[in-house]
Structure 1
Amino acid sequence: MRSEGASSRSSRTPVTCLRRRRTCASPPLPQRLPEERVVIRGYVSRGWFSRDLLGSIVVFLVALPLCMGIAIASGMPPAAGLVTGIVGGVVVGAISGSPLQVSGPAAGLAVLVFELVREHGVAALGPVVLLAGLIQIVAGLGRVGVWFRMISPAVVAGMLSGIGILIVASQLHVLIDALPKARGLENFAALPGALMDAMSGGAGSMVALLVGLATIAIMLGWEKLRPPSLRFVPGALLAVVAVTATVQWLGADVKKVEVPSNLLAAISLPTFESLAALSQPSLLLAALTFALIASAETLLSAAAVDRMHGGARTHYDRELTAQGVGNLICGVLGALPMTGVIVRSAANVQAGSATRMATIMHGGWILVFAMLLPWLMRMTPVACLAGILVFTGIKMVNLKQMKALAAYGRSTALIYLVTTLAIVATDLLTGVLIGFALSLLRLVWQFSQLRIGLDQHAEPGTSRLRLDGSATFLKVPALARVLERVPPNTRLMLELDRLNHVDQACLELLADWGRHAPARGSELVVDWSALQRRVEGTRQAA
């Protein structure tokens, strides 16, 4: 009877109560939670939510002043940078291939945006960024994301250093409430005159200079002296709060950030005329440049983020596609272009973020702050944001990289230096192309290196010809001179152990010498099948 009762209860069929002569149902089993609730409960119980919440706040505090400062350095209103930060957090953060990487407006593109806006106007920015996003989407779907990593690290380091110098050169003018020039050398040349005008033009410019210098001093001091328990507090936030509060208290007359009361007012949809302007070769080149620089910076930043944590690795094609979607949306909204940014990403990892929710929530914080507290941002002095960017630009010019790159050869350090100087002297695209060309030339030079040795063998009348490296047409004259030194009546043994590659020109030279050797009483001893395999650079055993 017990087994029947147990069976009845397990099958959840009604059972008869003998005393009361009524039918009653067995106790209901616990219902299975929906999968979404299980995921959410596990997300909270593992402590991931608390980690992501803290990480999102830290990244938000780092990103907010940078979004506005980079927009000002780009010649755009601060709201354009805020919109890009929101899209980079909420949209790109949700679909990115690098879960802990943070996307937003980048200092690396500020120079390009500034030049584009100066030459073609603000209306051209949206369509160019839109087209750059489409290029990135096509590249990501075409699985070419990993190919962006083939750019030499020396070129990328030189690019970042050059951008850092250009940012410092332009923002030194903003520190004194002056307008920057179009190019880096012009900014450096005009700086002494701007300083003289500031000192003779009234107190406003000098107060702005003091505001910027105080910002830099606070950030530098916090970086050196902050307690380990407060390492998550960004120096930029501390500087903005302290300097802004002081300026408000003293009533100092300096330029303030202009943020609209309604963030939607900052959105500028592209028109048919602005989209039609993309047929201009200069704008097409600008879109391609945006896509190339943004993709390279994003994917190299993602590789650096992967080295900072032990979680999921980056899916490069997905990350490139996500960046394209983000730039497509930013182009439609008339905002700044975006990349994956290493400073905010490093803050995200160091704050202990666990999942991509930290990036998404940081974009939400920017949205809430910009919508509900625009009056607070309008208190921020422009010179304060300029000081943050000067500090950031100086950090980007890391001369210690020269020593690290020199460990891979002096030519590597030279490529870094030439790329940096070329970007400062010309423009970003030209400098990067010069660095890339130097990398290819170095590769050609290294590939053409061949050490040729002619030694006397222990066996009488026998010599040994050693080829170490790559025997290409560039080394035909040197190899011919060595073969001419081989005395008559010599048995010449060709060693292939350290020969990586031989091309048709050197192969025919050796074959021709071997055919005419008997006329001089000589002989060429070589494994022709092994030599033939090295025509394609392989060293497989026979």
Structure 2
Amino acid sequence: MRKHLDYYTRYLNNDIPAGVVVFLVALPLCLGIAVASGAPPFSGVIAGIVGGLVVSVVSGSQLSVSGPAAGLTVIVAAAVEKFGVGGAVLAVALSGLFQIGMGYARAGVIGAYFPSAVIKGMLAAIGLILIVKQLPHAIGYDVEADSDPSFLENGANGTFSFVWSSLNSISPGSTIVALVSLAILLLWDTDRIRGNRILALVPGPLVAVVFGILFNLAAQAVAPFFAISPQHLVTLPQIFGPLQFAGQIHLPDFRLLTDYHLYVTAATLALVGSLETLLSLEAVDKLDPLKRTAPTNQELKAQGVGNFVSGMMGGLPITAVIVRSSASINAGAHTKVACIVHGVLLLLSVMFLASVLNMIPLACLAAVLLLTGFKLAKPKLVAEQFEKGFEQFAPFAVTIAAILLTDLLKGMAIGMAVGLFFVLRTNYHSAFTLTRDGNHYLLRLQKDVSFLNKAPLRNILEEIEGDSFVVIDGTRATFIDRDIMETLEDFMKAASDNNIRVILKDLPRVEKTAALAVVA
């Protein structure tokens, strides 16, 4: 015990400042992701607190930082719309139980069974959905205007009328804040800022949030036309102290436990959240300057505990998040103390600074998420997948289209089916080769040869002409299906009719009677 304590206290001078940096990065993301999910902002902060104070303690990773993830907003938003916030957080709690079961079932290897093209397609689709969903917040668009039926009337005139009326529903203040916030975030992502010792310590999202608050305060005092209305600001409950914090915790709606659709949502959250966690964990291990490797099965258990606690407290789902983890590593973190510090600061901020947080324009958070969505679906990613060839690009593109046209779970299933098709097709064509030199043939079986290859094998055997000498080599084959062996036996039985001589190499399963009949 003393040894572990010494290990964590040794790096406090690195971990505490890193925890402060992660807190500054995480706070606007927690609020923004909650808004994007259609849940109360308080739910996002709860998830961040649990990620810092619960998951980090149970996790075997020293540098992974967990919290609400943009990749799950689509699922959560659909759950909130279908079951309400109480049902959505119940699904989060159930997903945690599923993840704990996955950890004990040693399912930490599941990430390896999903083609990278499908996973990248899923993330790109989520990025596109984020962009579309955050645009109304970025321009301060009043939701009530969505119900305006004028665009359905009078053909093109109705359409132009709707567009013109929409302009009246846009908040100029929110639009300015969103554009300037985007500019700040892009500037902070340049080498000039990263290379500056002082500015590099200040997270871009924090600068954008501070600008949004100051702009709105100035507009209210000097130019009310540009002031942002209260419905376009963060809305956290007014809390001061632990007792009021506890009073804001909303329990899940347990009446929905009999609805099987809820379990489908929970399983989807568990699967997608686990994939995102395992991918982030792999990236964090590569970034770790001490080259430590985190146990994947323990990480699934830790995420499961965190999601169960978060859901029971009314919080959003949690995953390991590479953005926060990399920010922690870049700030000099050495142990999980940095993540715990960020969780403590999130807890204190929501307890004692709610009035300040409620001054943040939603347009600032929308700008953060717009940039996040762009990074997930950037054109460079599409170009890279295209350059890898049709077999990589097709599953990627189909996954994006399927998710946009259906939902995340169905889209992933369709993308997996397409990916599996290309795997089978590749195996279908590369299972064997036939080489000819005059009237000599070499039929070489490669790796696994299954019943799926029976039809092309028959076709290739028909190409062998009479009065030939054939060597059938199974040296490189690790598995040969019985159907393939029967096809070879049938060929050998008929070979003598065409004066074809056959020699077998490492094919012990071929019936000896068939072999003796044709081998000279």
For the criterion TM > 0.5, the same-fold answer is: yes
Larger Rg: 1
1:431 equivalent to 2:411? Answer yes
Q: Tell which deviates more after alignment, 461-470 or 67-76.
A: 461-470
CA distance in 1, matches of 2:335, 2:36: 31
Question: Which deviations, in whole Å up to 9, do the C-alpha atoms of 1:35-58 show, x marking residues without a partner?
Answer: 64x7655644x4x10110111011
Task: Give 1:69's aligned amino acid.
Answer: G
Which of 471, 480, 491 is the matching residue for 1:502? Answer: 480
Structure 1 residues 463 and 392, CA gap change in structure 2 (3 angstroms)? closer
Structure 1 residues 195 and 119, CA gap change in structure 2 (3 angstroms)? farther
Tell me if the contact between 1:100 and 1:345 (Cα under 8 Å) persists in the aligned partners: yes
Task: Give 1:304's aligned amino acid.
Answer: A
Question: Which deviations, in whole Å up to 9, do the C-alpha atoms of 1:218-274 show, x marking residues without a partner?
Answer: 11122224152132321110111122112112211332211112233431013xxx3
Write out aligned runs for 1:137-152 (5 A). Answer: 137-152=100-115
SS of 1:75's equivalent in the other structure is coil
Unaligned runs of 5+ in 2: 145-151, 153-158, 221-226, 240-244, 512-520
1:238 equivalent to 2:207? Answer yes
Structure 1 residues 319 and 485, CA gap change in structure 2 (3 angstroms)? closer
Question: Which deviations, in whole Å up to 9, do the C-alpha atoms of 1:378-410 show, x marking residues without a partner?
Answer: 111112211211121111113323454456543
SS of 2:201's equivalent in the other structure is coil
CA distance in 2, matches of 1:532, 1:281: 51
Q: Alpha-carbon deviation of 1:92?
A: 0.5
- What is aligned with 2:348? 368
Q: Alpha-carbon deviation of 1:415?
A: 1.4
Structure 1 residues 207 and 463, CA gap change in structure 2 (3 angstroms)? closer
1:210 equivalent to 2:210? Answer no
1:332 equivalent to 2:312? Answer yes
RMSD of aligned C-alpha atoms? Answer: 2.6
Structure 1 residues 177 and 515, CA gap change in structure 2 (3 angstroms)? same
Which of 38, 41, 60 is the matching residue for 1:78? Answer: 41
Write out aligned runs for 1:471-510 (5 A). Answer: 471-499=449-477, 501-510=479-488
Structure 1 residues 519 and 297, CA gap change in structure 2 (3 angstroms)? same
- What is aligned with 1:282? 261
CA distance in 2, matches of 1:88, 1:192: 47
Write out aligned runs for 1:18-57 (5 A). Answer: 36=2, 40=5, 43-44=8-9, 46=10, 48-57=11-20
Q: Tell which deviates more after alignment, 253-262 or 350-359.
A: 253-262
Tell me if the contact between 2:173 and 2:216 (Cα under 8 Å) persists in the aligned partners: no
Task: Give 1:390's aligned amino acid.
Answer: L
Tell me if the contact between 2:489 and 2:510 (Cα under 8 Å) persists in the aligned partners: no
1:200 equivalent to 2:200? Answer no
Tell me if the contact between 2:434 and 2:441 (Cα under 8 Å) persists in the aligned partners: no
- TM-score (normalised: structure 1): 0.82
Task: Give 1:159's aligned amino acid.
Answer: M
Task: Give 2:181's aligned amino acid.
Answer: T
- What is aligned with 2:129? 166
- What is aligned with 2:193? 226
Question: Which deviations, in whole Å up to 9, do the C-alpha atoms of 1:163-189 show, x marking residues without a partner?
Answer: 1110110110112333679xxxxxxx9
- What is aligned with 2:499? 521
CA distance in 1, matches of 2:142, 2:118: 30
Structure 1 residues 51 and 193, CA gap change in structure 2 (3 angstroms)? farther
1:445 equivalent to 2:412? Answer no
Structure 1 residues 122 and 409, CA gap change in structure 2 (3 angstroms)? same
- What is aligned with 1:267? 249
Q: Which has the higher contact order (CA 8 A, sep 6+)?
A: 2
Structure 1 residues 117 and 509, CA gap change in structure 2 (3 angstroms)? same
Structure 1 residues 452 and 150, CA gap change in structure 2 (3 angstroms)? closer
CA distance in 2, matches of 1:50, 1:195: 55
Tell me if the contact between 1:405 and 1:413 (Cα under 8 Å) persists in the aligned partners: yes
Unaligned runs of 5+ in 1: 1-34, 182-188, 534-542
> How many residue pairs end up in the alignment?
480
Tell me if the contact between 2:473 and 2:506 (Cα under 8 Å) persists in the aligned partners: no
Which of 56, 62, 86 is the matching residue for 1:123? Answer: 86
Question: Which deviations, in whole Å up to 9, do the C-alpha atoms of 1:174-213 show, x marking residues without a partner?
Answer: 12333679xxxxxxx9x99986434224xx6122111111
CA distance in 1, matches of 2:446, 2:53: 55
- What is aligned with 2:518? none
Task: Give 2:421's aligned amino acid.
Answer: L
Question: Which deviations, in whole Å up to 9, do the C-alpha atoms of 1:435-483 show, x marking residues without a partner?
Answer: 11112212211222245424136xxx64433445654434434333443
Q: Alpha-carbon deviation of 1:110?
A: 1.1
Which of 18, 30, 41 is the matching residue for 1:67? Answer: 30
Identity value in percent: 35
- What is aligned with 1:538? none
Structure 1 residues 41 and 433, CA gap change in structure 2 (3 angstroms)? closer
